[in-house]
Amino acid sequence: MGKVVVEMAKEEGMETVVVDPEGEIKSINQVAQTVDCVVDFSSPQGTREAVDFCVEKGIPLVSGTTGFDLDEMFKGPSEKIPILYAPNFSPGVNLLFFLLKNIPEEMRDLFYPALLEIHHSAKKDKPSGTAKRLAGIMDIDDVFSIRGGDEPGIHTIYLVGDGETLEITHRARSRRIFARGAIEAAKWIQGKGSGLYSMEDVWNMKR
């Protein structure tokens, strides 16, 4: 994911410093250049190192890494620096979050919700961070995960009612949609005060 972010950032004329365990700069602590923002798609350990680096330097952090407790990772640091966290940076998924959160309470009991998510075989966490967020919004107990091939990501919500079933699917066709959202987040967070933000703030979707 990080490679796609770097590729798109360069397309926009941005200068980047790449941290890659297999590259020239293997740790964020080796970064000597002055940077405006850190965009993190790594691992829980990598995110912890990114948080510490950003707090020390007083710069914002944008993170899309999953597989850890959000409060444990970000609660204290977000009191010192601006942090934007999102399990998914695509416009479509964030619109899906928004739509599901705005289902009238009176209608929720009319349907039984379930969720199926499919990702490429290299994805480590199961269910995905996006699936966990969707499950939290809809109070879903039945979450099913499939890992295989090179699938960027499919999430389908099933709302099963009496005599009808509603299926809502988001299908990612390219990882560039996630990179685009991360770059927009990195632009948006410049100049913001300390706090924990989300893509809802970027796209003014909070109601």
Handedness of CA 129, 148, 140, 202 (dihedral sign): positive
On whether the CB atoms of residues 115 and 155 are closer than 8 A, the answer is yes
Residue of 75, 101, 119, 170 with catalytic role: 119
Q: Quick check: is 57 catalytic?
A: no
Residue of 80, 123, 126, 192 with catalytic role: 123
Buried b (16+ CB within 10 A) or exposed e, 1-40: bbebbbebbeeeeeeeeebeeeeeeeebeeeeeebebbbb
Q: Quick check: is 123 catalytic?
A: yes
Q: Indicate which residues carry an active-site annotation.
A: 119, 123
